[in-house]
Amino acid sequence: MPVAIITGASKGLGRALAEALAARGWDLVLDARGAEGLREAAEGLEKYGTRVTALPGDVTDAGHRVELVAAAGKLGGVDLLVNNAGVLGSEPLVPLDRHALDAFRAALEVNVVAPLGLVQEALPQLRAARAGAVVNVSSDAAAEAYRTWGAYGATKAALDQLSAVLAVEEPQLRVWWVDPGGMRTDMLAAAEPDEDLSGTPTPADIAPAFLRLLDRRPASGRYTAAALVEAR
């Protein structure tokens, strides 16, 4: 069975992707900071009969990243790395003139440095895989100028550029950086607590778009979930 590492898998998009892959028979290595939420997510996948290793920890910790990749190696080697874990920096979001620099540095560590570190750790296994792939979860804030989203958007723009260079340097892999669009998640609620999210898609609504990447294996590049859904 193919093996995927998914960070930030206790809730939101990470959890939805874990369920979607488990339903297809994938074995999983799951990460999240909250041990209880991660345990509940892993238990919810038992019905699929796949192997699930849940490792709570912080992706900014190099030792934790080593553990994630080692766990994937025990399952047969990582075929897919999903860098989904992310933080806003400031909650709720604020304009750049009021954004705490320490919060921005923390967001850079989680949203940019940690994904690169995990890619570096996983590359030997990904190169050895028959169809190795990396999915880096981006945002429309990486490409558009939205008030109060500047610091978070800057981290995602940096992740996009790292993804683009990785795609050039590792042409045998598929590297997809994907903008999922607005989702009804705790993160979006924290970013804009006064917004009505009742009509916003759920992560479960968005997950099938990511599966289309695995089904079709398009060229490495930047994709939006909306475009992937439309391209049936």
Within 8 A by CB and 6+ apart from 18, the residues are 6, 9, 28, 30, 41, 45, 52
Within 8 A by CB and 6+ apart from 102, the residues are none
Give the dihedral sign, CA 87/214/4/115. negative
Catalytic residue among 10, 90, 138, 220: 138
Catalytic residue among 10, 11, 139, 152: 152
Give the dihedral sign, CA 182/87/178/10. negative
Q: Please confirm, yes or no, whether 156 is among the known catalytic residues.
A: yes
Catalytic residue among 11, 156, 163, 223: 156
Question: How far, in Å, CA of 135 to CA of 126, rounded?
Answer: 12
The end-to-end CA distance of the chain, in Å, is 26
Q: What is the greatest pairwise CA distance in the chain?
A: 50
Would you please indicate which residues are annotated as catalytic (active-site) residues? 138, 152, 156
